[in-house]
Amino acid sequence: MTKEIVHSLILIFSIAFSFLFAKTGLKNYDVQFAAILFIILFLAKKYLLPKNSPSRLLESVIFTLIILTTVNTTGGADSPFFFLIYFLLFSLSLLLEPVVSMTTSLALIVFFLLFIPESQNLKTLLPIFSLAFLTPFALFMGQEYTKIQKLRIRTKILEENLTQTKEDAFLFLSLMLKNHLKNIKMSAENFMGDHELDKIKKNIAKMEKLIDQYEKSS
């Protein structure tokens, strides 16, 4: 399975767990549950995950559980904290692959409709279906963010390659100039006439050519 499918399945499982959690007696301990999740995130990033290791999936799962348990234990679609789901969808599109926000919003709509009480009016259903209209914006933002990240990485690689090329060119030029200066010095020390003078002129011409080439390349 691809990485997008794996991440989508993990988040769908997290969504299902948060809806089931709100239907059990544990819903009275939602604050304690959220605190435990934050502790798990802190300990995992500090002790379990290697330094500089990406922990976006873990963060996404924990934020999803916290937000959805909060929403579902305070009224579901009528919760005053329902707006947090909008921020969750945008966050998921930035933390994970952009397509994950689309699968997450569809899963949310399905679970809200499955767990919604009977005889609900249109006013209650509107926030649920609004998730479908918000998904394209979250998807677009995630795609643009991914493009920017790839462009930054590509630019960094090009800058590193350019720096290395300049260093190699400078090293080559310095060695060549040093060699020609050595030849000029030897010709000057053993100067006997026009033959050595001709060697000196050739070495000077080669040095000038190398300097011109280096100036043009940089």
Tens digit of each residue's pLDDT (9 = 90 or more) over 22-59: 888 888 888 888 889 888 888 887 777 765 556 788 88
Say if residue 198's pLDDT is above 90: no
Say if residue 92's pLDDT is above 80: yes
Number of H helices, E strands in the chain: 7, 0
Tell me if 115 sits within 8 A of 23, measured CB to CB.
yes
Q: What distance in Å separates the CA atoms of residue 100 and residue 182, rounded to the nearest whole number? A: 65
Q: Residue 13: what pLDDT?
A: 93
Q: Residue 67: what pLDDT?
A: 92
Say if residue 215's pLDDT is above 60: no
Q: Which residue has the higher pLDDT, 196 or 106?
A: 106
So where are the chain's domains?
3-152, 156-217
Q: Residue 212: what pLDDT?
A: 63
Q: Residue 90: what pLDDT?
A: 84
Say if residue 171's pLDDT is above 60: yes
User: Residue holding tokens 């998904």?
Assistant: 135
Q: Which residue has the higher pLDDT, 59 or 124?
A: 59
Q: What distance in Å separates the CA atoms of residue 147 and residue 24, rounded to the nearest whole number? A: 43
Q: What distance in Å separates the CA atoms of residue 73 and residue 90, rounded to the nearest whole number? A: 22
Q: What is the mean pLDDT of residues 90-94?
A: 83
Say if residue 179's pLDDT is above 70: no
Percent of the chain, pLDDT > 70?
A: 68
